[in-house]
């Protein structure tokens, strides 16, 4: 397959045909947000793709406990989709189920709380066709209070322009079969997404691969209520490091008094580093950088409060959100193929 480079992304003259593509749409996030409107908006953006989505294998992943009404309207919008009900669904348990059920040569993950631009899937598949086995799209928070600062704190502020990246998140991700049949995400980390909790980056590192960031494959993530979301993220970072000893900074979580401060401080430094690298893209060509550094500090302070609560008053958070316990399933999950 011959390629040409245009605007930073690899353009493939012979696109991947739809019958070789599996599109997995995760439905757990919308259930967590308790909002059918969010899910419908995401499905609408997927149906409006310039690529022939209806000719793909489409998987919609729902919790087994979801009501029949929740599945009925999905079937109405996507009559060609296969609805998979996952027992004790967690975010990455659903992803693993999609890997098992996918028949396509390319598996593309979409989330129920992300709105995708009309050419999103086309750009993702062009990058896969260019020889990149793992492609990460460009997800950013939709416009709202502190949305630009939140992008600097989280996934979207990692780089300018397409190219190799070190970051993976599950809401805008494509994998070639040669890769996804060999790996599985961690699914024992609770019901939240928590991109740092998966093992995919370790697998990539072992094989000497780096994901490809596709700037043009854009999605807009639902902007959840600020305070509850950041409290949960701060708490989740501590839980991640307790439950996954192999992760960076995991040893910090073994020191209850210091771990919230050190983990939150480390993530703040990383976010400040992103803001510094991307300062020329900020309003005023970097003149607003001090404002963004200060707003990042405010956000990390809220996350610190969540981290302190989960260390010293876990019942407070669990009684409010109830999402730290991994739902039980009968039997063991299928091993990697």
Structure tokens of 235?
A: 């708490």
3-state DSSP call for residue 213? Answer: strand
Q: Where in the chain is the domain with CATH 3.90.550.10?
A: 18-225
Please count the other Cβ atoms lying within 10 Å of the Cβ belonging to residue 240: 22
pLDDT at 12: 43
DSSP string, 143-211: SSTTHHHHHHHSGGGS-SSSEE-S---TTEEEEEHHHHTS------S-SS--GGG-SHHHHHHHTT--P
Which residues of the chain, if any, have pLDDT below 50? 1-14, 196-197, 332, 334-337
Q: What angle do CA 197, 200, 201 make, to 5 degrees?
A: 90
Q: What is the pLDDT of residues 67-87, one digit of tens each?
A: 788 788 888 889 999 999 988
pLDDT at 260: 94
Rg (CA), the chain: 20
3-state DSSP call for residue 302? Answer: helix
> Crossing angle, helix 68-77 and helix 36-47, to 10 degrees?
20
DSSP string, 153-172: HSGGGS-SSSEE-S---TTE
Ramachandran angles phi, psi of 179, nearest 5°: -100, -50
Widest distance between CA atoms in the chain: 58
Beta bridge partners of 220: 115, 140
Closest residue by Cα to residue 111 from 193, 6, 187? 193
Q: What is the pLDDT of residues 140-178, one digit of tens each?
A: 999 988 899 999 998 766 677 899 988 888 899 999 999
pLDDT at 161: 86
The H or E element that residue 24 is part of is strand 21-26
- Determine the topology of domain 18-225 in CATH: Spore Coat Polysaccharide Biosynthesis Protein SpsA; Chain A (3.90.550)
Closest residue by Cα to residue 181 from 274, 266, 96? 96
Q: CB–CB of 172/138 below 8 Å? A: yes
DSSP string, 116-141: E-TTHHHHHHHHHHTT-SEEEEEEEE
Q: What angle do CA 59, 61, 67 make, to 5 degrees?
A: 125
């Amino acid at each position: 397959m011959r390629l040409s480079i245009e605007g930073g992304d690899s353009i493939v003259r012979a696109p991947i045909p739809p019958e070789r593509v599996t599109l997995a749409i995760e439905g757990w996030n919308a259930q967590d947000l308790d909002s059918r409107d969010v899910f419908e908006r995401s499905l609408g953006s997927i149906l409006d793709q310039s690529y022939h989505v209806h000719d793909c294998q489409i998987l919609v992943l729902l919790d087994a406990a979801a009501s029949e009404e929740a599945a009925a309207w999905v079937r109405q919008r996507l009559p060609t989709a296969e609805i998979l009900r996952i027992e004790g669904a967690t975010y990455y348990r659903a992803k693993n189920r999609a890997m098992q059920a996918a028949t396509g040569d390319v598996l593309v993950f979409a989330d129920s709380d992300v709105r995708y631009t009309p050419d999103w899937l086309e750009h993702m598949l062009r990058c896969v066709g260019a020889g990149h086995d793992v492609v990460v799209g460009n997800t950013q928070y939709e416009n709202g209070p502190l949305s630009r600062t939140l992008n600097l704190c989280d996934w979207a502020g990692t780089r300018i322009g397409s190219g190799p990246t070190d970051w993976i998140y599950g809401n805008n991700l494509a994998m070639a079969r040669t890769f996804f049949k060999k790996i599985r995400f961690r699914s024992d980390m609770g019901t939240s997404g928590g991109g740092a909790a998966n093992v995919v980056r370790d697998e990539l590192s072992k094989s000497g691969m780096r994901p490809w960031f596709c700037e043009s494959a854009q999605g807009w993530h639902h902007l959840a209520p600020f305070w509850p979301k950041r409290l949960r993220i701060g708490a989740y970072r501590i839980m991640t490091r307790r439950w996954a000893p192999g992760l960076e900074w995991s040893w910090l979580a073994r020191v209850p008094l210091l771990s919230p401060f050190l983990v939150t401080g480390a993530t703040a430094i990383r976010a400040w580093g992103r803001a510094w690298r991307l300062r020329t893209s900020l309003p005023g060509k970097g003149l607003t950088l001090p404002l963004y550094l200060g707003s990042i500090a405010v956000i990390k302070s809220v996350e610190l409060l969540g981290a302190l609560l989960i260390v010293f008053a876990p019942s407070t958070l669990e009684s409010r959100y109830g999402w730290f316990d991994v739902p039980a399933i009968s039997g063991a999950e299928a091993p990697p193929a």
